[in-house]
Amino acid sequence: MKGECYRLAAQLAQENPEYRLVHAEVTGEGEIEGIRYGHAFVRFTDEWLTEWVFDPSGPNGMVKMAWEIYFRRGKINPDEIIEYTYEEVIENVLNHLHWGPWDEKALKWHHGE
């Protein structure tokens, strides 16, 4: 589902108020090996305080992976992510009338700057 990550991740975050939407710059794998691009996914902490990433735009559907592994594989700098709460997702979708990205930094990632 190329190009659908912002919509799918925002919708998943809206359906699950305990999730946090994340916008980040990631490094691709497979056909897009080594290419940096803006991406969206959700972060969730389970009852054992394990951090998970759910990426609904994976090539084979939903990807569920431990936060640390996902960040290492995607070469994501944890200091460079933008996280949104449930309320912030709703507010941004309504204010911008699109699924994201919304932040100036994330817009640069999205456009490859």
Mean pLDDT by 10 residues, the chain (113 residues): 82 95 90 87 88 85 90 90 95 93 74 54
Q: Which residue has the tokens 């809206």?
A: 14
pLDDT at 103: 80
pLDDT at 35: 86
pLDDT at 110: 62
pLDDT at 1: 42
81 in Cβ contact with 48 (< 8 Å): no
Backbone phi and psi for residue 11, each to the nearest 5 degrees, phi listed first: -65, -40
pLDDT at 23: 95
Q: Report d(CA 34, CA 79) in Å as an integer.
A: 20
pLDDT at 33: 85
pTM: 0.87
